Amino acid sequence: MKHNCPTLVDLFSDERDGGFLGAVETRQNCGFTCRRVYYIHGELEGKERGCHGHKRLEQFLVVLKGQVEITLEGATGVHTFVIKDTSQGLYIPAGYWRVLDKMTNDTVVMVMASDPYDEDDYLRDYDEFKLWLADQSKVSGVSYLNFDRMHYDLRFDLDCAHDAVMESCHYINGPHLSQFENDFAKYCQGQYCVGVANGLQALEIILRGWGVTTGDEVIVAENSYIATVLAVSAVGAKPVLAKMDEKTFSIDASAIESMITEKTKAIALTHLYGIPAQMEKIVDIAKRHNIKVLEDSAQAHGATIEGQPVGSMGDAGAFSFYPTKNLGAYGDGGAIVTNDSNLAEFARKYRDYGQSQKYKNDIIGTNSRLDELQAAFLTAKLKRLEGWNKKRRQLAEIYCRELADISGLCLPEFYENSQPVWHVFAVRVVNKKRDALQRHLHSKGVGTNIHYPIPVDQQECYAELKGLYNTACSAKWGQEVLSLPLDPYHTEAEIEFVCKHVREFF
């Protein structure tokens, strides 16, 4: 169990043969993976020990003999604990000044630590510690993403997931993949989930499963990430670029119908930036024309419309678990979610050389599997996704509140019945000021990004699409859009820091 502040934890203790057996179950009791154990004993009476802090190291302390009084000072205030036996251990988070006192000469303290010895992690001087602690709440810059914070928070869960896979000795198509597929299908409220190698493969395999091929057309939003378009090209079909919805940044539902021809087989829409597209209208159009709806949900894990998660409203949803995504793996990963059992069966075979059983190949497939390690990591992270998405919404609200009245800056919008998950918080900076604002923010230590600077039909590889469609919106968008920092490990103070410098620029 992971603790958030200094916590006394009950330990196993059993009377046996006139003596006692005590134990620390490191995984359950400490909440971190123990990487070092050390002991404090000797001439301790009347002396204070400890008297230092750690920036990142977590510790778990057990009094094996004698007694000790421990005073901890940190972000949650000052806490004092007296421990006289092995029935309880003390969890000490990083960032606490600790003083061990009132020990006797026979006292023996065992300390379990989350990391090997590292002198740079120590705060040995009390005044230096107080300055460091005060600095923790000050903001001097804001990274675009916080992989380091996320990793530190998840280390224990990831260690457990990693060990479970290693101990299973099953690395491909094993129990961890099945577990993740079940969990993710349930999370998306879809009947089937098929893990694949990445988001692009998820899109491509769905189109293949529907038989989309050379001579067919698939309607895609002009401003989607190139992967949506590449998937259409990969199956030999022609991407048809429809106008973007300037409100949701997804496809403009009202622009779709006029682009449908007898060759159109599907609409591949994108819930760009984690903002749901107008699914009701799009599904209605598709039904009337008997074409499929593919939801590119690579940026929208957990976004909903009237409580229904995206990816399960069309005929199939494609997800990416690229590390930066709201649900990201530690390498590449992707998944298909669908209620269509035929598509799910096709995808299961296709991703695995086309085989239905070992060495029995029914179709010409490929190797596009989600491996056991990534699946186990994703299962662990999926448990946090709702909390992370909620935090993203809270931080997005700060941007919406603080930047609302700036003329020259357009904030992202969404339809009232939908709940975005803010994979990206993209604003539009008009009057050709985007690059200057980006430079200003970088000079203040604020990381930003542009999603995406070059629209699909201006890419060299898609020269054949140039001039075919009216893509004026995405061309303008490429010059005006700016993604501000937003991930669940940003603090409110950091987002306010970004807002302050955006306002300062205007």
Ligand X SMILES: Cc1ncc(COP(=O)(O)O)c(C=O)c1O
Site for ligand X in 329-358 (CB under 6 A): 332, 334
Under the criterion CB under 6 A, does residue 253 sit at the interface with ligand X?
Answer: no
Stretch that binds ligand X, among 115-123, 160-168, 206-214, 223-231 (CB under 6 A): 223-231
Whole-angstrom CA distances from 439 to 380, 430, 448 are 38, 15, 9
Count the neighbouring beta carbons within 10 Å of the beta carbon of residue 415.
18
Q: Which residue is nearest to ligand X (CB)?
A: 199
- Say if residues 170 and 177 touch (Cβ distance below 8 Å): no
The rounded distance, in Å, linking the Cα atoms of 10 and 365 is 54
Q: Which of 193, 192, 206, 195 lies closest to 173, judged by CA?
A: 195
Q: Give me the residue label for tokens 């972000």.
A: 75
The single residue among 68, 72, 112, 227 that binds ligand X, judged by CB under 6 A, is: 227
Report in angstroms how near the CB of residue 188 gets to ligand X at its nearest: 16
CA atoms in the 13 A half-sphere facing the CB of 24: 27
The single residue among 114, 299, 326, 448 that binds ligand X, judged by CB under 6 A, is: 299
Q: Which is nearer to ligand X, 298 or 421 (CB)?
A: 298
- Sign for the CA dihedral angle at 462, 463, 466, 471 comes to positive
The rounded distance, in Å, linking the Cα atoms of 161 and 27 is 12
Site for ligand X in 265-294 (CB under 6 A): 270
Three-state SS annotation for 279-305: HHHHHHHHHHHCCEEEEECCCCCCCEE
Report in angstroms how near the CB of residue 334 gets to ligand X at its nearest: 5
Whole-angstrom CA distances from 406 to 123, 403, 439, 503 are 43, 6, 18, 7
Size of the site for ligand X (CB under 6 A): 15
Report in angstroms how near the CB of residue 171 gets to ligand X at its nearest: 20
Report in angstroms how near the CB of residue 274 gets to ligand X at its nearest: 10
The single residue among 59, 228, 448, 474 that binds ligand X, judged by CB under 6 A, is: 228
Site for ligand X in 452-481 (CB under 6 A): none
Site for ligand X in 300-329 (CB under 6 A): 320, 322
Q: Which is nearer to ligand X, 88 or 483 (CB)?
A: 483
The single residue among 129, 184, 192, 225 that binds ligand X, judged by CB under 6 A, is: 225
DSSP 143: -
Tell me the two tokens of residue 339.
């209620």
Under the criterion CB under 6 A, does residue 296 sit at the interface with ligand X?
Answer: yes
Count the neighbouring beta carbons within 10 Å of the beta carbon of residue 480.
19
Report how far apart the first and last C-alpha atoms of the chain are (Å, whole number): 46
Q: Which is nearer to ligand X, 294 or 429 (CB)?
A: 294
Tell me the two tokens of residue 247.
């409100």
- Say if residues 338 and 345 touch (Cβ distance below 8 Å): no
Q: Which is nearer to ligand X, 296 or 457 (CB)?
A: 296
Report in angstroms how near the CB of residue 296 gets to ligand X at its nearest: 5
Report in angstroms how near the CB of residue 212 gets to ligand X at its nearest: 16
Report in angstroms how near the CB of residue 322 gets to ligand X at its nearest: 4
Q: Which of 336, 363, 367 lies closest to 351, judged by CA?
A: 367
- Say if residues 200 and 207 touch (Cβ distance below 8 Å): no
The single residue among 6, 199, 239, 309 that binds ligand X, judged by CB under 6 A, is: 199
Tell me the two tokens of residue 95.
């960032």
DSSP 144: S
Q: Which is nearer to ligand X, 242 or 298 (CB)?
A: 298
Under the criterion CB under 6 A, does residue 245 sit at the interface with ligand X?
Answer: no
Report in angstroms how near the CB of residue 390 gets to ligand X at its nearest: 22
Site for ligand X in 133-162 (CB under 6 A): none
Site for ligand X in 179-198 (CB under 6 A): 198
Q: Which is nearer to ligand X, 31 or 199 (CB)?
A: 199
Tell me the two tokens of residue 436.
């200057």
Instruction: Give me the residues that bind ligand X (CB under 6 A), please.
Output: 198-200, 224-225, 227-228, 270, 296, 298-299, 320, 322, 332, 334
